[in-house]
Amino acid sequence: MDFILLVINSFSLLLDPFNLTYVILGFVIGTIFAAIPGLTATLAMALLLPLTYTLNVETALMACASIYMAGMCGGSITATTINIPGAPSSMMTALDGYPMQQQGKGALALGHAALGSMFGGAVGALLLIAVAPFVAELSLLVKTTGKFSLLAFALIVVVIAQRGRIPQAGLAACIGLMLATVGLDAMEPITRFTYGYSNLTAGIDLMPVIIGTFAIAEVLMQAASSRDISAAAAAAEKVRIRRRDFLPPLSDIRKIGFGCYFKSCLIGYFVGTLPGAGGSMGSFLAYTEAVRTSDAPETFGKGNPKGIAASESANNAVCGGAMVPMLTFGIPGDPITAIMLGVLVINGIQPGPQLMSDQAGLIAPMLAALLFSAVVLIPLTLYLIGPYFIRIVSVRKDVLYAVIALLAVVGSYVATYSTFQMFMALGMGVLAFYLRRNGFPVITMLLGYILGPNLEEFLRRSLALSNGDPTTFFTNPDSLFFVVLTLVFVYFLVIRKPADKPAPAEAG
Amino acid sequence: MLFNRHLVFLYVTLAVSVGYFISALSLGAPTSDGGLTPSFFPILVGGAAIVFAGILIVQKLREGADAAATEGPRSYTHLWVGAAIFAYIVAFKPLGYFLSSGLFVFALIVIFSSFEKLVIKAAISAVITGVAYVMFQQLFGVRLPTLWG
């Protein structure tokens, strides 16, 4: 209850013009990046990461929350109007959004998408605010062996969730773990894999990893891509959207039903709590459920607003869900929460069970901004600049990528004022580029890199505490719980092959 | 087909994994007095990476001719972009922010478009460089290198 009150009080921080400017700016930037096919809100956040050095941590986290929320709903703009999802999480929205656009109801489809996003974002944020403190309290019960089993569970789930490319995901996770072992050992004064470079003694910094993986790799991907979006830009020029058509009629909302919205939110939220699943998986499952329970399943894919509502409610509810493991256990659910984790780490804050009790004052404003973005900024942005959003596609790509590359390279210099970090960012960018080009999911590499140090430390501590007895992982109840949970996920995701579902798409 | 670009990447990954594994072994015995040493985890990770890389190479070799047939047209623009970023980092401190960034942005605009309307592109580059300077140095207090110190 104290935490809920703290979140309510944190809304006062949004009255500060400085904070409000960053939240609004973050939302607009997130929307723009999500709307442009090929760019993502993850990229926007990676570019803005260096700037968090100069901001106070509350403001930085509030801006991150608004970028996250914007990134989930921004992709629906181009998905609906020109059938090119700006973000992977809006793939399902395009199925019904674009047919509505062809029927001359594009603005109405965007209105439904915004309403679904608003509802999903708000329910996800409210569930997060209500649930996170309890999960944090529960997480205090998890001791060293349990922590190892939990981290191993997260890493294994991220790998096996990449259906159809599990060996690629496994290798990418190993590469991330390899990067995590560079530098001084956590328990003994021994340097590993530095090969005489003193710059590597402290390990590979998070900043160049994030900037390289998401920003530089993206610029390289775009350079290597032969995709010509001039046709999309030309199509965007022809689209005319009027503000007055945005508002969905009450009869439509009644037809969709509160149950559909709420069920989709719950699906999105719980999918979000699973490491690596992400918005695309959430919207897919919610859409499938909406079709399954519909009286007229044949209307889906032909412009049924219920499909848009289910997809958008779910992908925005993912935002709240994905923050639960990040805040309570320090396990990011997707690339954006991984960058948020980076913001915390850069500011010397260790995510984990103690975070919600010791530094709740830092976290509460972020959750307030998440809720504010969902309830106020989504509808407001759509109404004010919605008619012009579609023009975003026409932005000059040569200038855009030059700006992204400049911000990325100079941004990696900011942390230490050293060109070594710039070279590291380039190296990580090249690595991530080749991984993506060869079908490797970079999220598993990033999670391997982030979770690696704790995974190793808890493994060694657990075995030291048990005098080298590996059965300790099965005799401690907290560890046994996560071992069983891992086996359950392995059974459902690998052994008992489910129906053909898409692997979670990369947000980066 | 023993060599296509996917396989070359996997061979490189395998070589790096083997190198990492050997380096991990050189750190010493994985266990000592019933506890784990700093080499245990890297040996485990290196071993797993070798296994995954091996599986992927075998999978790719089995795909064989099909994979070769699906290779798309090659584009080398990313190599130019990578080279431009490398040159920019090398020149960043010696040339200072303005000159190095201006040339870098101009080069990228040309790489992503065409070798036409160079004056306009140079002017755009100058504006982007200036705006980014104001953002980093003035707005966020980041000290960027300049020729005048």
**Residues facing B36 on adjacent strands:** B31
Contact call for A54 and B108, based on CB within 8 A: no
Q: Per the structure, how many domains does chain A have? A: 1
- The residue with tokens 């493991």 is A325
Q: What is the pLDDT of residue A346?
A: 78
Contacts of A430 in chain B (CB under 8 A): 82
B78 part of contact set with chain A, CB < 8 Å? yes
- Which is nearest to A175 in space by CA: A424, A429, A459, A446? A446
CB atoms within 10 A of CB A147: 25
The span from the CA of A500 to the CA of A497, in Å, is 8
H/E element holding A183?
Answer: strand A183-184
Q: Which chain B residues touch A53 with a CB distance below 8 Å?
A: 140, 142
Residue A465 touches chain B, beta carbons under 8 Å: no
- Whether B1 contacts chain A with CB within 8 A: no
Contact A66, A53 (CB under 8 A): no
Return the number of other C-beta atoms located less than 10 Å from residue A263's C-beta: 18
Structure ipTM: 0.92
The closest CB to that of B128, out of A50, A402, A422, belongs to A402
Contacts of A433 in chain B (CB under 8 A): 78
Query: What's the farthest any 2 CA atoms get from each other in chain A?
Result: 71
Instruction: Confirm if A443 and A334 have CB atoms less than 8 A apart.
Output: yes
> Does the structure show a pLDDT above 70 at B67?
no
Share of chain A above pLDDT 70, in %: 92
**Of A402, A414, A459, which is closest to B108 when you measure between CB atoms?**
A402
Residue B122 makes CB contacts below 8 A (sequence gap 6+) with: B106
**Interchain CB distance below 8 Å, B41 and A178:** no
Residues of B in Cβ contact (< 8 Å) with A423: 89
**Which helix (H) or strand (E) element contains residue A192?**
strand A191-192
Q: What is the pLDDT of residues A445-501, one digit of tens each?
A: 988 998 899 899 999 999 998 888 889 999 999 899 999 999 998 888 888 765 555
Checking if the pLDDT of A506 tops 50, the result is no
Question: A180-236, pLDDT tens digit by residue?
Answer: 999 998 888 889 999 888 889 888 888 888 889 888 998 998 888 766 556 666 666
For residue A448, give the nearest of A276, A230, A278 by alpha carbon.
A276
Chain A residues touching B55 at Cβ < 8 A: 167
**Looking up tokens 């990067």, which residue turns up?**
A179
Helix then strand then coil, in percent of chain B rounded to 5, is 75, 5, 25
pLDDT higher for B140 or A211?
A211
* Contact between chains at A410 and B101 (C-beta distance less than 8 A): yes
Strand partners, B35: B32
Handedness of CA A183, A189, A195, A200 (dihedral sign): positive
Q: What is the DSSP letter of A247?
A: S
Chain-chain contact of A406 with B75 (C-beta, under 8 angstroms): no
Query: Which of B42, B85, B125 comes nearest A181 by C-beta?
Result: B42
Determine whether the interchain pair B80/A403 forms a contact, defined as Cβ–Cβ distance below 8 Å: no
- Percent with pLDDT over 90 in chain A: 26
Q: Is the pLDDT of residue A40 over 80?
A: no
Which pLDDT does position B43 carry in this prediction? 96
pLDDT exceeds 70 at position B74: no
- Cβ-in-10-Å burial (0-12, 13-18, 19+) of A65 comes to buried
Q: For chain B, which residues make up each domain, given as ranges?
A: 5-70, 77-139
User: Looking at residue A330, what is its pLDDT?
Assistant: 83
A53-104 per-position pLDDT tens digit: 778 888 988 998 898 888 888 878 878 877 777 677 778 888 888 888 878 7
Among the partner-chain residues B13, B84, B111, the one whose CB lies closest to the CB of A171 is: B13
Which two three-digit tokens encode residue B138?
């003035």
Q: Report whether A273 contacts A54 (CB < 8 A).
A: no
Long-range pairs, A476-483, Cβ under 8 A, ≥24: A476/A143, A476/A145, A476/A146, A478/A141, A478/A142, A478/A143, A478/A145, A478/A146, A478/A149, A479/A145, A479/A146, A479/A148, A479/A149, A480/A149, A481/A146, A481/A149, A482/A146, A482/A149, A482/A150, A482/A152, A482/A153, A483/A149, A483/A153
Residue A423 in contact with partner chain B when CB distance is under 8 A? yes
Residue B71, pLDDT above cutoff 80:
no
Determine contact: B9 vs chain A, CB below 8 A: yes
**CA A242 – CA A478 distance, rounded (Å):** 56
Q: Which chain B residues have a beta carbon less than 8 Å from that of A159?
A: none
Residue A264 near residue A309 (C-beta atoms within 8 A)? yes
First to last CA, chain A: 36
Q: Which domain holds residue A361?
A: 2-495
**Distant-in-sequence, close-in-space partners of B110: CB < 8 Å, separation ≥ 6:** A398, B118, B121
Q: How far is CA B107 from the centre of its chain?
A: 18
Residue A79 lies in a domain: yes
Q: In whole angstroms, what is the distance from residue A91 CA to residue A84 CA?
A: 8
Indicate the pLDDT class of residue A239, thresholds 50, 70 and 90.
low
pLDDT of the residue at B3: 64
E strand spans, chain B = 31-32, 35-36
B146 at interface of A, judged by CB pairs closer than 8 A: no
For residue B91, give the chain A residue with the closest CA. A419
